[in-house]
Structure 1
């Protein structure tokens, strides 16, 4: 595969990852309540969803009541503070990486062709994709581990015969799956950018071959004809 095709694929993956991360962070269904509890059918009377920016309760009538976490920022839990921060870092780095990779691509005309600045900008976009992928991995895995831990703790309480409040047991929401998909796109963009940078370095480090001028061939026949 050519270097231009790899760079274009990385640009597409990075743009898709940035868009999906934006969709995921704005959604409220990172966690969905399971009113029936583990192993039981879910109650259809209401549903509770929980995200980074708001939590909502929906009823079968189609009515939703949402709380946008209007308290002071420092009063939030560590999960909310770090979750919001990491998601903002993820979206910001991915968006900036997309713009820089677009400027640093070989087929781009935003910068002079074959300039060292162009290669440096593209390498910077690869580093931003790496930072975006790492921060996205941290928050998605943290949210998944936190939700699964609380769910199995709820199941253990149910097996012990303890009373479980409605909405206490939470399971994975659609936004978490979207975030996992967006993270995979960021890693694909990172891989494409790293492969393209390696090809660029290999072409720059290739030694220049000096081709010698072919030796002069003495033509005795032609000289003899000119002498006559």
Structure 2
């Protein structure tokens, strides 16, 4: 396998992770709990995300409500939001930097050493974005 195909494969995996990061930040299933009670007809499940909470009833109805105030939430939730958004911004920057540094693009084509350095910086930004994501997801 040539170096440019490995580079393209790595970029594809990193970009897929970036899309997954955006999806996981937006989803409401960060915290789930359920209540069945004495009657299964009244069973309901509660889901809380970073931005809203949802209640799903056994009848199939689902109601979501955005948090009234984002600043009145627990500090852990606020820190998780901040780290997830930081990771999204770092990943978006890393995508742009890595695209410039890839061998299959014509940006900086006259200086191959500079192009290689830019590709390494893009990879380092992906690693930093991933490590800022590790804490809130675990």
Query: TM-score, normalization: structure 2?
Result: 0.86
Contact preservation (8 Å) 2:51, 2:70: no
Match of 2:69 among 68, 71, 82: 71
1-structure distance, mates of 2:114, 2:68: 45
Instruction: Work out which of the two has the higher radius of gyration on C-alpha atoms and give 1 or 2.
Output: 1
Match of 2:102 among 105, 111, 120: 105
Query: What do residues 181-212 of structure 1 show as CA deviations (whole Å, max 9, x unaligned)?
Result: xxxxxxxxxxxxxxxxxxxxxxxxxxxxxxxx
Determine the structure 2 residue equivalent to 1:9: 9
Unaligned 5+ residue runs, structure 1? 37-41, 142-228
2:49 maps to 1:58: no
Query: What do residues 81-113 of structure 1 show as CA deviations (whole Å, max 9, x unaligned)?
Result: 111011111111122212211110112112224
Unaligned 5+ residue runs, structure 2? none
Determine which structure has greater relative contact order: mean sequence separation of CA pairs < 8 Å that are 6+ residues apart, divided by chain length.
Answer: 1
1:43: Cα distance to partner? 8.0
1:72: Cα distance to partner? 4.9
Contact preservation (8 Å) 1:15, 1:95: no
Comparing both structures, which one devotes a greater share of its residues to strand? 2
Would you say how many aligned residue pairs link Structure 1 and Structure 2?
A: 136
1-structure distance, mates of 2:8, 2:42: 46
